[in-house]
Structure 1
Amino acid sequence: KYGSCLVCPITFSLFCDPVIAEDGHTYERQAITDWIQHNSTSPLTRESITITGLRPNHVVRNLIDEFRKTLSKHNYKFKLGVDIERSQKPFFQTTGKAIFEAKWIGNPNGPPIILLKLFGARAEKEASFYEHLTRHPHIVYTYGLVEQSKGTSNTFVMLLQEMAPEGSLINVLEHCSEKYPNIPLSDLLLNHIFLQICDAMIFLSSKDIIHGDLACRNVLVFHFDIQEPNRTLVKITDFGISRGNTIYSKIDAVATVINTIPLRSSAPEVLQNSDDDSTDVYSEKTDMFVMGVLMWEAYSNGQMPWSEINRESIVRQKVINGERLSRPDNCKSDCQWNLILKCMSQNPDDRPTFQELAKQLTEFINLPINSNLSNSCQSINISKNSSIIEQEKEKLDESPQSSFIIQETDHNNADNCHEPIRPSPSLAGVNVASRRKFFEKVFEPQRPLSPTKSLPIRKNTAVTPPREELIKLTKWH
């Protein structure tokens, strides 16, 4: 049901250099080349294909050029009823947020899209900023902003985004646990997912952007393959719309997600300052704590953290006092559990950076297939006092801070695709590497982000909505 002649079936993203293979299907050149180098058969039909058999698809290339010109011509701003249309009712809604099915007007070949409506918020940046910021293989792509109709109140912002065919990660986890109740997902599959999330977070951290609510419900699944974990593709969404953000501003007296603190997954330093309007407490390390909770959530089949406790105040006190979530039954590896606990360390300085976490996950993934993860890793030692980490930090100071590199160039070349000037650090799996190469695009320099004014938050933090309200998200198609 998910399909567009403008989207590569491997990267699930807009083409840059489309080619036709011997199986009759069109792929992104870099992605299919990397695929063939490791697999001699088609990813769709399993018939034999070769690199020498690839031919440029000029028809698709012309279509994609026209589509990109249309985006640029509109300055990444679109109008309801003119450029796009949406469903009357949202297929998902919670406090301060609603998601609608949408489709292009006059462009039947346009990629599948949804419209994300954020109440009580205003965009702090130009529309092109949001489009440029999401040019990453593991961040949900934003085509631009949707302008409000005349006569409507200016109390919300609407983003036009790509659609995830499999829905959110929490949907996938719950479906797998129901279909295969006695077969947990493998460490290899989950580590591929965690690694892709890390790659996106490395990029956001390099831009000084805090996610604030990194949960399984905010990870969207574009492809899920239990048999071939390296083909699984996820992207993060909803970054920057929680407290501590720098790319949206809050409208007072309107219910919104911006001033919300996810109490069941937040770091202890955030919970200690939850009644304070200051956003200084938020950092990469607070996101890392939430990453640890996300990994726990994945091993728990999407279970809500601290689900056995009804009162948020009790959860808050437990976390502040140093208590942590109990080990999930599906997490059999001591190494894996120690890494999760490391991410949820009480002291922020004891938590790894996303660069360090990605390195550890890569080592786990690259273990021999017949090796036991529990026995292959003696200990998880990610410490600020480690000489190894200090050496790695010195190397990082001389290299890009994200495994996804964006080269700055002139505005005239903003929408063109270029070969990367220098290779990015590789992550495990040919698909991760090929997606990153494809998405190493260039765009005009952006002014550095600066913190917004402190955001107010009500003293009486609203109780987290019932779980069924948060996860009634259905298929995105």
Structure 2
Amino acid sequence: MSTSNDLLSCPISFVLFHDPVVAQDGHTYERAAIEDWIRRNGKSPITQQQLSIKHLYPNHLETRIVDSFEEFTRNKKYQFTLDIDIRKSDRPFFQTQTKSIYNAQWLLNNDNLSEIVLLKINGARARKEASFYVELTRHPNIVRTFDFVNDKDDNRQNGAVLLIQEYACKGSLYDLLQEQPVLPNEKVLVQMFLQIIEAMIYLASNQVIHGDSACRSALVFHADPNNPENNVVKLTDFGLSRASQLFSVVPSSAQTQLDIVPVRYAAPEILLDSTQPDHYTEKSEVNSMGVLMWEAYSRSTLPWTNVERDEDVIQLVTMGDVLPQSSNCSQPY
């Protein structure tokens, strides 16, 4: 495991420090994360030297740095201003119909601040979805969102919402699997799946259904193709509450409901009638998670890749067809 470039985050969990401690290897970790690591491995995740829980000492300097960052965000009242607090790149490095992600950097006191990106959300439900990111940000497997950004020149004109989020240095799970020459060890994939499931359980416990689970929705903060314990993924791109219709039809002469429902990942009940909010449940999430795992085992192959039209996929799934077991998936799984 390599060290993190982010001075505010634990190199094991990649979560903002809460109780930072220094170990015998001279590196700082979140106490709970390094204690768990030592119990399971006994050695430093960075230097491989033997470590002892008895020799973990509070890092008061790191605590002050984190407290300073938290105070910085509180003083801003969780409202940042573009080109005053942060700067974004001119063009996004990722873009869909409703979202764009830009490289970004802090402009003030940025020596010890987290690496960040700027997420721009467009559309009728932009602020509703953005609020989920902000409110549900403190889980180790959910991408951290620092808060809203005010863009005086743009936001009020088109209803777009800007958010500051932590930067995932390895990109998405989709990108990672496509770029690697061989599939990671199966135990590595399972560890990633478990982290994604933990995030989905947390969302469900807060009355939020992800609604669009796929490899592109899992961001990779650390990757090791051979050691399961050295992998960290976090879920993003969520925002479907039980009581709302985030995927409801946006008024448009050309757009239909199925244009915005992730057809190839959706459960049969959603494909039968995507206008019913009670069809988006933990059960439909389990279905999407199964498709995500198939996609990962297939190295980011599009589900139902041999079926060209989404309409035909809908017919197959609603008639009971399922994706075949991937050839890379062993029998125990």
- How does the TM-score come out when normalised to structure 2? 0.89
Could you tell me which residue of structure 1 aligns to residue 38 of structure 2? 36
| SS of structure 2 residue aligned to 1:123 | helix
CA 1:154–1:219 in 2, change beyond 3 Å: closer, same or farther? same
In 2 relative to 1, CA 247–86 (structure 1 residues): closer, same or farther, beyond 3 Å? same
Counterpart residue identity of residue 194, structure 1: F
Aligned to 1:49: 51
CA contact (8 A) 1:216 1:298 kept: yes
Q: How many residues align?
A: 327
CA distance in 2, matches of 1:204, 1:284: 10
Asked if the contact 2:247/2:260 (under 8 Å) is kept, the reply is: no
Q: Distance in 2 between matches of 1:94 and 1:73?
A: 33
Provide closer, same or farther for how the CA distance between residues 222 and 126 of structure 1 changes in structure 2, counting only shifts above 3 A.
closer
1:302 alignment partner in structure 2: 300
Equivalent residue letter for 1:167: G
1:117 to 120, 138, 142: 120
Match of 1:167 among 163, 166, 171: 171
1:346 counterpart residue number: none
> For residues 247 and 136 of structure 1, do their structure 2 counterparts lie closer, same or farther at Cα, with a shift above 3 Å needed?
farther
- Distance in 1 between residues matched to 2:37 and 2:317, nearest whole Å: 44
| Cα distance in structure 1, aligned partners of 2:62 and 2:284 | 43
On the 8 A contact 1:95/1:255 being kept in 2, the answer is: no
After TM superposition, the structure 1 = structure 2 runs for residues 258-273 of structure 1, keeping only pairs within 5 Å, are 260-273=260-273
| SS across alignment from 2:202 | helix
Q: Structure 1 residue 313: deviation in Å?
A: 1.0
Distance in 1 between the 2:8 and 2:197 partners? Answer: 27
- Structure 1 residue aligned with 2:134: 131
Matched, 1:141 2:147: no
| Cα offset, 1:62, TM superposition | 0.7
Which blocks of at least 5 consecutive residues in structure 2 are unaligned?
none
Query: CA separation of 1:146/1:242 partners in 2, compared to 1, >3 Å: closer, same or farther?
Result: same
After the TM superposition, which residues 67-106 of structure 1 pair with which residues of structure 2 at under 5 Å, given as runs? 67-106=69-108
Kept in 2: contact 1:242–1:257 (CA 8 A):
no
Q: Which has the larger radius of gyration?
A: 1
For residues 302-358 of structure 1, the C-alpha deviation after alignment (integer angstroms, 9 at most, x for no partner) is 10001111111111111111111122111131x42xxxxxxxxxxxxxxxxxxxxxx
Deviation at 1:135, TM superposition (A): 0.5
User: Is this contact kept in 1: 2:117–2:167, CA < 8 A?
Assistant: yes
User: Shift of residue 145 of structure 1?
Assistant: 1.2
**8 Å contact 2:142–2:236 — kept in the other structure?**
yes
Return the alpha-carbon distance in structure 1 between the equivalents of residues 258 and 143 of structure 2: 19
Closer/same/farther in 2, CA of residues 123 and 305 from structure 1, 3 Å limit: same
1:69 to partner: Cα distance: 1.3
Paired position in structure 2 for 1:290: 288
Inter-partner Cα distance in structure 2 for 1:57 and 1:257: 52
Q: 1:15 aligns with which of 17, 21, 31?
A: 17
- Once the two structures are TM-superposed, the CA of residue 256 in structure 1 deviates from its matched residue by 12
Structure 1 unaligned blocks of 5 or more: 337-477
**TM-aligned CA distance change 1:40 to 1:257, over 3 Å:** farther
Q: Which segment drifts farther, 287-296 or 152-161?
A: 152-161
Query: Quick check: 1:157 aligned with 2:161?
Result: yes
SS in 2 for 1:292: helix
Q: Post-superposition shift, 1:81?
A: 1.0
| % identical equivalent positions | 43
CA contact (8 A) 2:145 2:165 kept: yes
Q: Tell me how far apart the structure 2 counterparts of residues 142 and 205 of structure 1 sit (CA, whole Å).
A: 18
Aligned to 2:324, the other structure's residue is in SS state coil
Q: Deviations over 1:11-44 (max 9, x none)?
A: 1111111122222211112212222223332111
Moved more, 68-77 or 136-145: 68-77
The structural deviation recorded for 1:246 is 6.4
Deviation at 1:72, TM superposition (A): 2.0
Q: Which residue of 1 aligns with 2:208?
A: 209
Question: What CA distance in whole angstroms lies between the structure 2 residues aligned with 1:193 and 1:98?
Answer: 25
Structure-2 separation of matches of 1:130 and 1:115: 13
Q: Indicate if the aligned counterparts of 1:213 and 1:242 stay in contact, CA closer than 8 A.
A: no
Query: How far apart, in 1, do the equivalents of 2:278 and 2:36 lie?
Result: 43
